[in-house]
Amino acid sequence: MDTSKFLNVKILGRVALIAFLWAFTIWLVYPLLTVRSVGAIAPREYVFRTVLGIGIMIILFGKTVTDLLFPHDLSGKKAVVYTVFLALYSLALLSGIVFMITRVIIVYLNTSINSSTPQI
């Protein structure tokens, strides 16, 4: 087998894995992304999905920061566009993580406030 074909299959496999992880992560956190009122969803129904989605986002963020700070190929210099894109991607990923954690905290606080008030 030609080594260039093997490298193309390997790169395609990596891209497919990352795309699948992103699709799976979006499916996991989708209920918190689409709800207009945070108190409108049933938090117990989506808590495990959201925690797993945020966990995957944190793992992807760690991988991205590791790729940015410690590149695999030390012999060659990385392109400026690659470095800038990776830095912007990591900032966008970090802001998504902060946004999702904030939404989870708001849901938790609304749920605890609603459950502690007596029903008259």
> Residue 81: how many CB atoms within 10 A of its CB?
8
Quick check: 40 pLDDT over 80?
A: no
The answer to whether 70 touches 109, Cβ cutoff 8 Å, is: no
Q: What pLDDT is stored for residue 44 in this prediction?
A: 66
H or E element, residue 31: helix 3-34
Task: Look up residue 102 and give its amino acid.
Answer: T
Q: What pLDDT is stored for residue 51 in this prediction?
A: 85
* pLDDT tens track for 45-96: 777 888 888 899 899 888 888 888 887 777 777 788 888 888 898 899 899 8
Tokens of residue 11, six digits: 């790169």
The reply to whether the predicted model has a pTM over 0.75 is: no
Alpha helices, DSSP H, located in 1-120: 3-34, 43-69, 80-116
Q: Taking the chain, what is the end-to-end CA distance rounded to the nearest angstrom?
A: 75
CA–CA gap between residue 59 and residue 18 (Å, rounded):
12
Q: What pLDDT is stored for residue 100 in this prediction?
A: 86
